[in-house]
Structure 1
Amino acid sequence: MSPSSSEQKTHVWLRDEDRSTERRTALTPKNAQKLIENGFAVTVEKSSKRVCPNADYEAVGCTLAEPRSWVNAPKETVILGLKELAETPERLPHRMIHFAHIYKDQTGWEKEMARFVNGEGLLYDIEFLTNENGRRVAAFGYWAGWMGAALGAFRLLERRAGRNEITKGVSPFESQEVIIEQLKALAAEVDGDLPTAIVIGAKGRSGTGASQCLEAIGMKVTKWDIEETRLLDRKALLSHDLMVNCVLMFGPGLLLANKTHLADAECNMKVISDVSCDPFSDFNPLPIYDAPTSWEEPVIEVARNGAGDAVEVTSIDNLPSLLPAQAAEEFSDQFITSLLKFDEGIEWQNAKAKFEQIRKRADL
């Protein structure tokens, strides 16, 4: 039901992503239409990379605007995006919704918080939009895990087949089915058993996606979660060929492996896909690399294992953008329920409380 004309409509402004490889969106045209039907005003910045065409937003009643014109939007406008912002403007006066990656001591977190505080704005970090049970209301976790496992398996299987293609770069795939076909074809190039894999955090969204991807191509998957990592059997962990880490750390306490462990004589590990991808955090359970990998350079060597084979890491921090259409549609369908309640739902209260907690910690 739409609000009466006397009520102030919330104006949601979907910004173009600053990151050139980010093709996903938090708001599809279908769900933008739901906002409009419920009394919201919706502006959408034109984008040449967003997976949803500009014309589809215009067709459902959105107002189109130029990229980055949000910086001049009225202060009461709510700015919606996905990934972190460019370094300008220095002051952020709006209420903003996106994944900022600054709440776990990541490099530059205090500077980023200062942009909001000095501009008198507010960040609703999507990662901390949680319900009364502490569960996130919307997440890309399944797709991140699925795609991270796919890239790890791709690199491992092509090495097994004597190939070296993925190191030349990656770009978005058409569908899950296409990826599975490619992986099965790679696996079939070499006779014998497939390499072994272990998924850490297997019970979560990301871990579920990772396990299902690997099992779809016929790999044997060991699944570990809190119970198995509480008293870590590192020898068993490193006996696998592939590790997919899906553990999201909010504090210290878990070390999966460092470079010394990887160099141990009994280590068999060859490829690590770090889906959680938090190298800038003090809580990183894989302190073996210092920056995410990229679409241009998706894999880096970090060590040599006990047999002298390379141990490589893939750690792309926007994995679901490699399957942008499927990932965006599922996320937006999860997220629209919360957007329709902005900013009164418990998830918005929780995200605001988290912002205030971090602001006080930064002494701002």
Structure 2
Amino acid sequence: MSRPPARRPRARAARGSSQVGRRFEVEVGPVAHGGHCVARVEDRVVFVRHALPGERVILQITEGTEGDRFWRGDAVEVLAPSPDRVPAPCPYAGPGRCGGCDLQHVALPAQRELKAQVVREQLRRVARLEVDVVVEAVPGDEAGLHWRTRQRYVDLPGGGRGMRKHRSHDTVAVDACLLEAPHGPSYDVRGRVFDVADGGFWQVHPGAPEALVDAVLEALAPRAGESALDLYAGVGLFSRFLSEAVGPTGRVAAVEGDRAASALSEHNCPGVLVRAGDVGGVLAGGLPPEWDRADLVVLDPPRAGAKRAVVEQVVAREPRAVAYVACDPSALARDVAIFAEHGYRLASLRAFDLFPMTHHVECVALLTRTDSAPR
């Protein structure tokens, strides 16, 4: 469950003259993964922020050269607004301002539908699946605001604080972020208290831990006496409840790459076998022989997903069910396709709006073994 810091974009070699600053009138196309919509200028794709599908806007190019396959831009003037457009609640949101939010200009129900469209499109394009997706609201925010229980600002020279612009090291001075919650995170979930290191990973939306635990347990329906692997286990959020569900005749193993989080999971999850290390490496040779088989698996990888090596280690254990907790729809779709190669089908999917006002969405996918799965 540990999440690495987001990578900043690498500078690309220029391919012809810069197009930054050029303006075009366009009709905005569909939403795309990443917090923008697609438009076309001179037969070239432009990824446009601060727009909505169907709008007519003036876009200004923010990244791109003459020879690039695609450009990036901001909608700096809206000529024909979507009915889903609303005034941004934050004065720092918008073109050239804070880059933390992608969707403040969109009504909350429409934000969730846009995210659902992205998940559907990724599963259709990458996994060749048609899936009905509804993004569910989660209790704990205030109309999409005041949910970030951990917030970081940039200290500005001479005092004050700021936030980064989109895809930039430049900062915008702010008084406060409207996403910031009035209180820090609670580590109490379903009446169980978890130890978490200062700065260690924990879901930032106050309703997220319980919503995800409920979704995972509902999907897996663990039975007394079963064995369960919790991969990318963090401090043991899922392990704790899996252990209680399978009872004293069952067993749970938790694998986590962050050693500090793994050590805390030993305290948080009495009776669970804990292993610290690279998940693929531990699965390949770091568990006792009885873990060559498992009834259930939880996968909660970082944004890059589990990838083929880990998926193949999972299916080799022939679990009856896998709950995949995904924070990136593209990585989820890729890994679902790999599971399908090995006879596992996507049985259900739930999506949660754990990051309102941004393009991010969390999914819990259930994968079950088909009759044709190799043994």
TM range (shorter): 0.3 to 0.5
TM-score, length-scaled by structure 2: 0.32
Structure with the larger RCO, 1 or 2 (CA within 8 Å, 6+ apart): 1
TM-score, length-scaled by structure 1: 0.33
Larger helix proportion, structure 1 or 2?
1
